[in-house]
Structures are given as structure tokens and as C-alpha cells.
Structure 1
Amino acid sequence: MPVDIFNSLDQYTEQIKNRIAASAAAVCVIKDNEIIHEWYSGNHHFHSGARKVDASSQFNVYSTRVTYVGLAAAIAINDGAIQNLDDPISKYLSIYNNDILGNTTLRHLVTRTTGLQFQGNGGVVRKFEEGTSFEGKKPEILATIIKNATGKTVAEIINERVLKPLGLTRTEWRTEGKETLVCDINDPNSYPTLRLESNEGSDRNLYITARELALWGNLHLNKGAIKGKQILPKEIFQSVSSIMTPNTLPVHLPRLGYFWWIQDKNVSNSEIGPDLPEGTYQIFGASGCSCTVIPNHKAVVVRMTNSLWTFGGKNGFDYIADIQRFGNLVEQALNEYSIVHR
């Protein structure tokens, strides 16, 4: 097995790890339902006694978690608890002003086009007309809708319908620390931290191993079928990984499924590497973690790091250029792998 084909991903990730002052990094590649490459580097933090990174290390994946919220919403729709993606969100959010929510739907919510700014104590402000511009994620609002519609939290749905059937035990919304959790590096000169919050499934405390995040992507790639068993209807995965963005959005703005970024060559500011083929979908988190699903190659590639020091352009780091560059290297490596295995 020519593992060295994927060394370019490891080497680049190591460079980025050093550049962003991360202490930990990992890469995992699944091809044709097999893990064909794994790489681990560093320690859980920079201080004395830190645990070495290995296959059991769980990284906080931050915004990557929103795809779990998205899948829970798709399950709720498939089950009939939510009628469809074009249901108005006002139907499920009684505490907000319906006149301001207006015609905003779940479609706008999962594609980040609501135009709304939610505030504490039921406050909401409209910033732009729904479906006309792009905004930050609102997984906590979708999680509230899911709970109001189903009576269950996102974590309960995902644990019951996905994690337990697949035997995934290292995907956890953590409320307390444990040895396998990788710390966040907020600044190279500060103490490392863990983000411990609610276990309901929408907070920024989802800790996962590189392998289990890759298996999450592979579940989507296989449209819910694993080892010949269909754990969820394939229609659910077809919807979450297809473009759901309303056609009112200007063509140069990102196209999303259920929070997944979908490759579209017309988009000028995508997080997805431009060399990756149409049909690729990806999610990316603040700590540098990403999951890229490439149906053309029947492959999933995961990258993990643990730094918050440079996200959002802090300290002169272009995080969009970084993840695009990584995606282009993924495409190059998979093309080389395909040539070797013709």
C-alpha cells in the first residue's frame, strides 16, 4: 500500500500545525470504505505531562458539529415530526416575533441565509431579506426547533439513530474532562483549555477522534449504508449533501446542503479547494478540523488540529487559503492513488 502518496497531506498539516501554534494534529483517509492512511502528530497540549496524540485522541471539532445538527433535522423531517424543509421556522419558535421571522424557513436556516439575528430573551432582528445573503451558522436555533418538534435533543437523536448502530463511542458532547480529550490552544503563551458545555448536541463541545469523523463522512458518502446495512434511509443523506440553498441567493455566494458546503465552480468565496471536483462537500471548524467527502473518488479525508489562535484571520493567518490548499492537495493525492491502483 503506497502510504507515502498521502505524505503531502501529513507534511502540509505539520507545517500548518506549527504556523497556527497547534500542539496536536491528525490526518485520516478513507477510500472505498477502508481506512488507508492515518497520521498523528504532537501532544494534547504544550505543557509537561501532556498525552501524545494517537488514534484515541478526541479533538473539539467546533463548527464541524453543525452537520450533526443538520442530520438530526433531516431525520426529523423524514420521520414526519417536521413537515418539510420549507416549513416556516415560526411554526416551531413561539417565543420570537412572527412578523420579524416572516417567511424564513428551515431551508434558510440550514443554508445560512435567514437574514435574522437572534438575541437573548426572545429578541430577534432582521438584517437582510431571507435568501438574499450569507451569514453565520445558527445551529442552536435549529436544535431548538428539532427539540420542539420531536421532544428529543440533537444528541439523543444522533446517539440513538447513528452512533449506537455504528458502534461509535468516541463521538461525544462532553460535559466533563477525560484523558483522551485534546485541549484547545487559544494562545501559545496561555494555558490550554477544554470546552465543556451541555450534552444536548448544539454547543461547541463535540469531541471526536479523526477515525470517527472520517466514518461520519463515510456514512454520508454511502448514503446511510454501512457493511450492507441501511441504518437510515438514503433519501436523508441525499438531501443533506445536495445543494439546498434557495435560488434567490446571488450565484457567487456559497451553496450549502444541511450546513455542508457543496462544491460549485460558480462560487467565488468557497472554503472548498477549487481543484476538488463538483459534488465534493465539506465542513470546517474553528480549531482547524475539517471533513471533506469526495464522491468522485469514493473517499473521505479528515484533518484535525487544535488551535484557536489564528481562526478568523487572527495573527495574519489566512484560514480560507489554508483549507483550500489542503483540499487541492487532497485531490492531487487521490488522483495519484487512483493511477497507482488502476
Structure 2
Amino acid sequence: MKKGLIALALVLLVAGGAWWSSLDKDTRAVIAQMPTDSNVLFWSVEQRDAAFRALDSIPVLAEARVIEAGDAVYPLPAGEPLEIAMDPAQFMEDQRSAALVIVHDGEVVFEEYGLDFSAEGKWTSFSVAKSLTSTMVGAAIKDGAIASLDDPVTKYISGLEGSAYDDVSVEQLLTMTSGVQWNEDYTDPNSDVALFNQHEAEDGLDVTVSYMRNLPREAPAGEKWVYKTGETNLIGVLVSEATGEPLAEYLSEKVWGPFGMEQDATWLLGSTNHEIGGCCIQASTRDMARFGLFILGGGIAGDAEVLPEGWLDVATTKQAEIGSPGSGYGYQWWTNDDGTFAAQGIFGQGIFIDPERNLVIASNSNWPAATDPETVGLQRARFYQAVQEAVDAKAAVRAAPAE
């Protein structure tokens, strides 16, 4: 467990630390509420309220690498507001939402903020980052840095040789069907997802590789889907090793800069200086909506086709059964049989994309629990449906003949 952040601030202050003295009054107030435990799964709601907007601001919590934006900004003009049957204000209150941005036909038709957050702030993504990480696999294939999804992951990630990953392909890593045993129980302090960030890396190995190479196999590769944050971290290592670039810089080069994100973002780093591929991009909610538009537009940034032909058709449709009728898992995207798909992160982060309706919904929240599919999760799904119905009603009015 790492030292308390208030203690850190006092040390820096006594030492005349430039970092602490450079912060404004509001930022110092946020830091004063920050958690002393480095494991987010066991922070209080109040601690998370303070931390989720500032994870990249506290050196003792985690270092971060900048994802640089470009000079031009992709426009998000205001559009005609939707008449949503489900009250958005009540929805945001129930969800403990920090931000909700709805974009239809390229125009912002709803944008509101809560929890004292704003359009200028950056909120952490949690597992929404997984979908951005997988998209960089597509970019690396387009660039020729990754030869084939059928390649064994050991071709690109040194240190996995001789482990349960010997016969796992890049595609099986993307679909979380490696068959390697993993426990993602967010309520269990002894689960893999709770423990692997505390792991001390073996000499010369990335910290995620060091942890994952010791896991046993529970099923043949390709036969069983299990959600594994650790494997997305491996994907991040794979992209960095294949391209020779840090993941944040590659994302900036391929998407963040040329597509026109408005603000620099940051990506938290693990203890061995790789971006945490399965988590923790700090970005504005408007820029996360822009990423949804990048995907909705077929993966074109500026004048460049970033992804291989047909990549998104496969990545955003069901490639693995997850035991939920009507739903599935693609290449690190949650998929629905109606053609919609989403990036999702614990505590209520999300990008929902509906290609048929040309619709993107980006949201950031601080749910009371990491996951809660029967209450806030179900409510969010119903809100998405209410927005879709509002879009359909708007289209019907426009299509109706004039009297």
C-alpha cells in the first residue's frame, strides 16, 4: 500500500516542492480528499469523487504519459435538443453522473455535467480504455507492425514463452478467449484484478507479463470467454513492442491528433513504464464522444484510413458468447445483436454507439459500486433505449409530409 497523499503533499511543501506550490486552491482541495489506499476498488464514494478527475495529477498514485491532441479541433456543433421521455436530469442524479454528452448526426443534442465536473475537466475511463487499446491493434495491422491476428502472442511479447500463453493467438487475446485462468471479482481483495497491480515485476520483464506468465490454464485456447483486464494490459504491451512506440504516443499519432481531439489526454503507467492498456485514460467527455464519432465514421482520421478494411465490422460484432442472450463480446467492445456496441468501464463510464441512428452517447459517472447490472446498469440501458426512441421520433417528424 502506498503512502497517503496528504502526507506526500506535506513532504513536498516542507521541501519547497514546486509541484504542490504550482497547484491552484481548488486542485489542492481535491487532493486533500484523495485516498491513501492505491486500490481503487476499495475507496469510498467521496474519495472516488475527488480522485476520478485527478488521477494523473498525483505522482505517488501513478505516473502518466500524455496523449497529445493536434492543432485542429473536430467540431461538435449544437443541434436540436432531443425530447427524451426519460428525464435526463433525474437519470444523471441516479447514476451519480459527472458528464453526459449525446451526439446525433454529428451535433450535440444534449450535454450536461454533475459532481462539480465540467467540459474542461478530464475524467478517468477505466475499462473504456480497452476499446481504444484494441483499436490500436487494428492500426498496427494496417501499418504492418502486426502481421496477423493468427500469430501467437509470444511472437510479440517477450517473457511469455513457456507459459499458458504459448498457444494463444492475438485474436484470442482480443476476444478474451485465451483459456487462461483469471478472477475479475471486484469485491474480492484476493482476486487477480485486485492483486496484479500490486505485483513486483521480475527483473527485465513488464509487470503485467511477470504476473500473467504464472497463471494456469483452465480451458483450451479459443473455447471459453472470461473477462480479464490483465489480458488487455498484455495487448497494450503487444502494441508497444510491435510498433516500437509507447501506446499513448501511438494513439496520439493515429487518432488523437489527426482526428481533432480538443484536449491532450493522459494514460496512466504501470510500474514498468508501459501504459495500463486495460484502464485509465484521463480525457474530456467531449473527446470520448469524438472517439465514438471516429469509430462511427469507419476509423478515418484526417485523410487517413487508420484501420484495415473490414476491421470494425468484426471488432464491433459478437466474436465470443458471454452467456447473455442478445449480447456478446467483440475485439474489446461489448456488442448487441441489434448492431449497437459500447465501450464500458467500472463505476459507470461508457461510450455507446448506434450506427443505424448515427448516435453516440458518452458518459462518466461514479456509481456506488464498481458494477451493478441490476440497478444503475439496467437504468443506463433503459436510458439508451429512451434516447434511441427520441431519435426515431425526431426522424419520423422530419419524414412526415408537410400539411
TM range (shorter): 0.7 to 0.9
Q: What is the Cα-based RMSD across aligned positions, in Å?
A: 3.2
1:62-211 map, 5 Å: 62-98=126-162, 100-117=164-181, 120=211, 122-137=213-228, 138-170=231-263, 172-173=265-266, 200=275, 202=277, 204-211=279-286
1:289 and 2:362 correspond: no
Which shifted more, 141-150 or 123-132?
123-132
How many correspondences in the alignment?
292
1:291 maps to a residue whose letter is I
TM-score (norm 1): 0.74
Match of 2:359 in 1: 299
Q: Name the stretch that deviates more: 293-302 or 252-261.
A: 252-261
More deviation, 287-296/326-335: 326-335
Amino-acid identity (%): 22
Deviation at 1:63, TM superposition (A): 0.4
Q: How much does 1:37 deviate?
A: 2.0
Alignment match, 2:102: 29
Instruction: Work out the CA distance in 1 between the residues paired with 2:390 and 2:87.
Output: 8
Contact between 1:223 and 1:234, CA under 8 Å: does it hold in 2? no
Q: Which amino acid aligns with 1:302?
A: A
1:105 CA drift (Å): 1.0
Name the counterpart of 2:288.
213
Q: Determine the C-alpha separation between the residues in 2 that align with 1:223 and 1:166.
A: 12
Q: Is the 8 A contact 2:289 2:361 kept in 1?
A: yes
User: For residues 148 and 174 of structure 1, what CA distance do their matches in structure 2 show?
Assistant: 17
Please say if residues 197 and 204 of structure 1, whose CA atoms lie closer than 8 Å, have aligned partners that are also in contact. Answer: no
Contact kept? 2:318, 2:336, Cα under 8 Å: no
Residue 42 in 1 paired to residue 115 in 2?
Answer: yes
Matched residues in 1 for 2:91 and 2:310: separation? 33
For each residue in 1:64-103, what CA deviation from the matched residue of structure 2 results, as whole angstroms up to 9, or x when unmatched?
0111111111111111111121211122233124462243
TM-score normalised by structure 2 residue count: 0.64
Give the counterpart letter for 2:138 in structure 1. Answer: A
Q: Secondary structure at the match of 2:99?
A: strand
Shift of 1:231: 4.9
Amino acid at match of 1:290: G
- Secondary structure in 2 aligned to 1:115? coil
Which one has the largest radius of gyration? 2
Name the SS for the 1:28 alignment partner.
Answer: strand
Structure 1, residues 171-224: CA drift from partner, whole Å, max 9, x if none?
A: 522569xxxxxxxxxxxxxxxxxx999673526331122211111001111112
Contact 2:267 2:276 in 1 (8 A): no
| Structure 2 letter corresponding to 1:218 | L
Alpha-carbon distance, 1:236 to partner: 6.4
Q: Assess, with a 3 A threshold, how the Cα gap between structure 1 residues 35 and 124 changes in structure 2: closer, same or farther.
A: same
Shift, 1:341, TM fit: 3.0
Q: Is the partner of 2:371 in helix, strand or coil?
A: helix
Judged with a 3 Å threshold, the aligned counterparts in structure 2 of structure 1 residues 254 and 89 are, in CA distance, closer, same or farther, namely farther
Q: Per-residue deviation at 1:36?
A: 2.4
Deviations 1:217-252 (A, max 9, x none): 01111112368x4452562652564436269x8795
Runs of 5+ unmatched residues, structure 1 = 44-52, 177-194, 265-277
SS of corresponding position for 2:249: helix
